[in-house]
Amino acid sequence: MSGTIEDFVKTLKEGSEPWLLLFDIDGTLVDTGGKGMAALQKTAVEVFGGDGPPLDLAGSTDLGILENLYVHFKIDATEEQTHRFFEAYHRHLEASLESNPADGRVLDGVIDLLEKLAQTENAQLGLLTGNTSLGAEIKLRHYGLGHHFTFGAYGSDRADRNLLGHIALERAFAMTGREFRSDQTLIIGDTPKDIGCAHAIGAKCLAVATGQFSAAQLEEAGADWVLGSLRDLTLG
């Protein structure tokens, strides 16, 4: 499909084929005010004994972040160690979100958009996020968005974000009974890694400049469409 984002919206509302819309979380749906970073740093201190290297969270998967910590601390990755890390991380994440909740927020336009999409027959919502499945649940529950999403692909599935698209398609089929093609899939995110992930499976990407990257940077990275925020995605 080519054309403007308005053309896509018209197809979504009036077309005969369903579309799978896969949302990133951080910087796209919510801004946690740095609570995820704080939780990761506290976990690194608890599990590894130090802060670790500077963390680049923009579009990274939680498994990928942990792999970098293993390398930094020169620790062999084991299933037991990974379980210990994420158990501590989820505990710190929940506590971090509950402290000073005013530090974070649902981003502009998100609630209205999700509510309208829930009433759009040809729109099936899912997640494609670098968060672990439980981390995603914790964040979405905290911000009151969890009821919109029943499945997704997560940063606990693979370290490489580009491998998550096919997992999301498989889970969409398992959940809905609909076999969505890649060209019936739109990935919505705020980083170049979201764009790369979409194009890795031949999907479209709508990028929003609500995270660390400007609209110009997202356009340069190859997004199919770029908006200032999800408030600008008007379904009427």
CATH of the domain at 24: 3.40.50.1000
Number of domains in the chain: 2
Last residue of a domain, one of 101, 117, 148: 101
**Same domain as 170, residue 127:** yes
Same domain, 56 and 164: no
pLDDT digit string (tens) for 152-172? 999 999 999 999 999 999 999
- Of 101, 125, 148, at which residue does a domain stop? 101
Full domain range(s) for residue 133: 5-32+105-232
Same domain, 178 and 125: yes
Cβ pair 166, 126 in contact under 8 A: no
**Residues whose CB falls within 8 Å of the CB of residue 94, separated by 6 or more in sequence, listed in order:** 138, 142
> With 0-12 CB in 10 A as exposed, 13-18 as middle and 19+ as buried, what is 83?
exposed
83 & 157 share domain: no
User: How far apart are the C-alpha atoms of 20 and 139, rounded to whole Å?
Assistant: 22
Where a domain ends, among 83, 101, 119? Answer: 101
Per-residue pLDDT of 57-84, as tens digits, reads 888 999 999 999 999 999 999 999 999 9
Judge if 125 and 152 occupy the same domain.
yes
Q: Phi-psi category of 212—alpha, beta or left, where left has phi over 0 and alpha has psi -120 to 50?
A: alpha
Q: How far apart are CA 130 and CA 79, in angstroms?
A: 19
